[in-house]
A and B are shown apart, each in its own frame.
Chain A
Amino acid sequence: MATIQRKLWRDLRRQLWQFAAVGLIVLLGVALFGASYMAYQNLNSSYQYSYEQLKFMDFLVTQRQLPGEAVQTLETLPGVAATQGRLQRELRVEMPEMDAKRAEGRVISLPLETRANVNDVKIERGDYFRADSTPQVLVLKNFAEYHGLEPGDILALTIGEETVNFRVQGIATSPEYLWVAKSALEFFPSARNFGVFFMPEGQMAELFDTRGSYDQVAIRIAANADRSEVIERVTEVLSPYGLPEITVREKWPSTRMLDMDLKAFSQVAVAFPLLFLAVAAFVIYSLLTRLIMAQRPQIGLMKAVGYSQQQIRNHYLGFALVVGLSASLLGSALGYILSISATRLYVKLLGLPYLNTDPRWETIFFGLLAGLVVALLAGYFPARAALRLPPAEAMREAAPVSSGRPWLERVFPALAGRSFTWRLPFRSLFRSRWRSLTTILGTAAGIALILVGVSFFDAFDYAIEQQFERIQNYDLRLSFNSPRPESILEQIQTIDGINRAEGMLDLPVRLEFGQNSTTTLVSGLAANNELHGLYQGNKRVAISEEGILLTSNLRQVLGVKVGDEVSVQAPSNSASYRVVGFVDQPLGTQGFLPLDEVRRLSALPKALSALLGRRTAQDSISSIMINSNPEASAAVLDRLYQLDGVAAIQVMDRFRSEIDDLMALFNGFIGVMVIFGVALALAIVFNIVTTNILERRREIATMRTIGTPRSKVALMLTLENIITGLLGGLLGFGLGYLGAGFFIGIYNSDLLTMSTIIYPRTFVLTGLGLVLILLISELPGILSVNRMNLAEVTKEQFI
């Protein structure tokens, strides 16, 4: 009896490493869940922490000519915790010796001697303001980095007609500009063309001659105060000075952008790891089923020699517990470490002022629990199934009930005539259905995981390609301080190296349809416009006199369809247009109208325009798209900058590389998930293939004893692997495509609209990768059966 027991336990232990390999899948599933969800939590709390440290506002009041006393009054209102009156103005940055020449700047005042009560900055390099009279500025980090500005440098800023040299006192980050958005309509300004600066309040008041009044008040409310009530009180106090414009924290462009990113990320961070855990659970279940089924004879014998059901079940649950617990623990630890590096990377790329990576115990606990439960369930069911068998039956070799000729042979009679080496794999495919099914489904899951991840890169790449190669089909975009007459186009076209120039008139508007509304930009394009491509799928769409074209993401936002009338409200006019079509555009939302329509919409009432002396001409344009000769670009830029009223020139190539960098940020997390997906896919395929081979040790040994050469055995196993692998791969391609559609769907927002695109090369590479993984995965198994001691294996019986 004692010998039997020892032998039995030894037999069971022999498969221990296979259990351990199953554990690896649990480990990866738990680690990925922990890493991505905690990274999301870290990111979220790093934002919150930065907001707190830098006293980010709850809302911003914008009102010109606010007297200082009014701001002081606000501070005493119930519910107001802190206020900061400030100036905010636009100016021009002059960088004649640099390639960008000039840029648009926004300057915001900060107290000189103390730090701001609301919306403070963090000095990343250099110092805060010095109490001396030299003109000084703090430069926002992204602009400083783009243009290589360092503390101590001199920067020329033009205010009105006057250009003043400022000392760069420090490089700063600001909670208002964690994401540098220019306005609610311009979320992606190029650091080449737009920068944010901070100046001491006194210096700024002098430069802009504001005489003690403020432009804005940033307000923080008390912890228990109701924001809308506070806003009401503030509005009331300020009513004598006009109607204030209130921007609440979550409507602030930077916050909106980051929230949108976080929201998409949170969904991906939950859905993706859950998918991983689900796939891991399935694979573990099927592998354990097979491992335990392979031990049916031992189970039968143990029962026969008098072990109780309980004892045997506990034995397997013990295995599952050990595997599940150690894998979950290791997985959680790995997940924690990875979440920290992922957050660090993200925070560094995004330039967040503060990093927060506290351990998230609830997430760690959930990961542990999930891993453990998955392992235990996966061990429990197959053990129970095996235990139900009477000992005699359990001790017989397991054999499926199916018989007869495989249908594949009936469908392809040619197969039946082929050599045994070819037929056997097909047979065994159909004779071991459970094995084939797990292999196919496991491979499919692995492939789908990889595809879903990689599809993000393809979709990003495709979106950017669309935006910059087809839609923004120009190299330069010149914008004016204020609209200019169209005649300037002729002047521009005479410049050497310019092939084509087209005018455009942009107007911020509010679009309304039924209950829905949104703020966006409407662009007026000439009927013969070529440089701004409007596409629906592959079909080019022309600007139409009949109505308005909308970017396709507005379809959901507004709930409109072709033929509906939308109302367009511009600051001075409004009108209704029929939706004549939708165009694809990855970045942002936008409407398109004929140029003259936009001119009409932007026209000021005659009296007012006369008063302001502003042109409201029938032929104005606000920006110019230019297609130029790449060799002449430096000279062309020089000439263009000399034109009157040029605010900025966007060089599309440079802009694209900025957007690419930005996308790299979005892609960072996806990249981590792809790596995990690939690792998990590898582990799955490896496990399945190895199990496929090892569970047939005896069968293979028997084939060898009757003289099958090793090469033939390897060939048959390989064929079988490749067949199931390819079936799994095909299924995986389908599942991956569907999954990609789902994930890209949740990632899309009105800022970024991607289509589900998987490049053919991705399919090809994934397919080749799969074959490679299959071949590599079978190596250990094949080496092991090749080294197998035939004498021993053929002797192996259940005792």
Chain B
Amino acid sequence: MAKIDAPNSANVIEAKDLRKIYRLDGGLEVHALRGLDLTVNYGQYAAIMGPSGSGKSTLLQIIGCLDPPTSGSYKLADQEVSALSEDELSEIRNRRIGFIFQAYNLLPRADALHNVALPLMYRGLSGKERIKRAKEALDRVGLSDRLDHRPNQLSGGQKQRVAIARALATDPDILLADEPTGNLDSKTGTEILGLFQELHEEGRTILMVTHEKEVAEHCKIIIHIRDGAVESIEEIKERRQAAFTGLIS
């Protein structure tokens, strides 16, 4: 799968002085991000951790172009995002980003195959090609035998796999996951993490929000966030990951 645009920089994400202020109805302001700086390079496998309300989801949504920052600069693959129109943002979301939600967010009326094929609609691919790629993605997450199941006929772990397959299908620059294991039991969670590990080894960039230290420790780095800013970045020892890989294979 070839990249459409070859980036010149090694950084997929460059965020400087990001601020996000939510204005509530009563005139109250919530400063969710307070001048956050962050750089993520290609191939990174990072966890974002922090206390509840520290701004993790907010950050991920800004990175995923679901919400604009109130101020600050955000470059995704060398492109300044704040200047883009809504339609250009649509295209960015479609080509560069694969979002995986805690609540899966699948189309309830479409089966697994069509849920995964959905983002391929705007790629000028033939119907056959779209189906082929969707099958490959589902195969990749180990769901080749559930192609015609609808979301309500799938387990939580399977739904999350379909969501991952959908994120993968477009071959994005970066996978964003907000507590992907949050709704899953620990065994299923571990399986999903194993899948992420493999994807990382294939060279994908992954950014994942999590509450759990054990989950975060499967990544290469942990970005600690407190009060809307990066507090510290922790590197994880190689051997923990190796041990984990051994565990699932």
Contacts and interface: CB of A to CB of B under 8 A. Distances in A.
Interface stretch (B61-69, B227-235, B241-249): B61-69
Nearest to A708: B90
B6 to A, nearest CB: 20
A376 to B, nearest CB: 30
Contacts of A397: 108, 151-152
A399 B150 contact: yes
Nearest to B99: A705
A707 B101 contact: no
Interface in B85-101: 86-87, 90-95, 97, 99, 101
Interface stretch (A661-669, A721-729, A791-799): A791-799
Nearest to A424: B121
Given A396-B152, A416-B127, A706 B109 contact: no
Contact of B118 (A416, A421, A706): A706
Contacts of A710: 86-87, 90
A390 to B, nearest CB: 14
Given A707-B91, A790-B67, A399 B86 contact: no
B180 to A, nearest CB: 14
Given A399-B109, A794-B66, A797-B103, A709 B87 contact: yes
Contacts of B107: 699, 702-703
A425 to B, nearest CB: 13
Contacts of A711: 87
B221 to A, nearest CB: 24
Nearest to B123: A707
A797 B156 CA distance: 14
A767 B64 CA distance: 44
Contacts of A703: 107, 118
B166 to A, nearest CB: 7
Interface in B74-122: 86-87, 90-95, 97, 99, 101-103, 105-111, 118-119, 121-122
A707 B127 contact: no
Given A399-B150, A416-B127, A794-B105, A704 B90 contact: yes
Contacts of A791: 57-58, 61, 66-67
Given A399-B109, A706-B99, A420 B66 contact: no
A398 B152 CA distance: 8
B212 interface: no
A363 interface: no
Contacts of B109: 399-400, 428, 431-432, 699
A417 B126 CA distance: 9
A398 B90 contact: no
B148 interface: yes
Interface in A396-437: 396-400, 403, 416-417, 419-421, 428, 431-432
Contacts of B92: 707
Interface residues of B, number: 37
A657 interface: no
A431 to B, nearest CB: 4
Contact of A706 (B94, B127, B150, B152): B94
A6 B56 CA distance: 24
B101 A399 contact: no
A709 B90 contact: yes
A702 B105 contact: yes
Nearest to A705: B99
Contacts of A431: 109-110
Nearest to A797: B103
Given A397-B108, A398-B108, A698-B105, A708 B86 contact: no
A225 B107 CA distance: 78
Nearest to A420: B121
A433 to B, nearest CB: 11
A789 B121 CA distance: 23
B192 to A, nearest CB: 18
Given A397-B151, A397-B152, A399-B150, A705 B105 contact: yes
B148 A706 contact: no
B64 A699 contact: no
A794 B57 CA distance: 11
A709 B110 CA distance: 20
A150 to B, nearest CB: 67
B105 A707 contact: no
Nearest to A431: B109
Given A403-B148, A795-B57, A707 B64 contact: no
Given A397-B152, A399-B150, A400-B109, A706 B166 contact: yes
A432 B101 CA distance: 25
A757 to B, nearest CB: 44
Nearest to B149: A403
Contacts of B151: 397, 399
B56 to A, nearest CB: 12
Contacts of A417: 127
Given A705-B66, A707-B122, A795-B57, A399 B152 contact: yes
A712 B94 CA distance: 13
A698 B151 CA distance: 14
A81 B68 CA distance: 89
Given A396-B152, A428-B109, A791-B67, A707 B61 contact: no
Interface in B142-161: 148, 150-152
Interface in B23-63: 57-58, 61
Contacts of A701: 105
Interface string B133-147: 000000000000000
Nearest to A792: B67
A711 B122 CA distance: 12
Interface of A: 396-400, 403, 416-417, 419-421, 428, 431-432, 698-699, 701-712, 786, 789-791, 794-795, 797
8 contacts: A399-B108, A403-B148, A403-B150, A419-B121, A702-B106, A707-B93, A712-B122, A791-B61
Given A421-B121, A705-B64, A710-B86, 9 more contacts: A403-B148, A420-B121, A428-B109, A702-B107, A707-B94, A708-B121, A791-B61, A795-B103, A797-B102
Of all A-B residue pairs in the complex, the 7 with the closest CB atoms, nearest first, are A707-B94, A791-B67, A706-B119, A791-B61, A397-B108, A420-B121, A707-B93
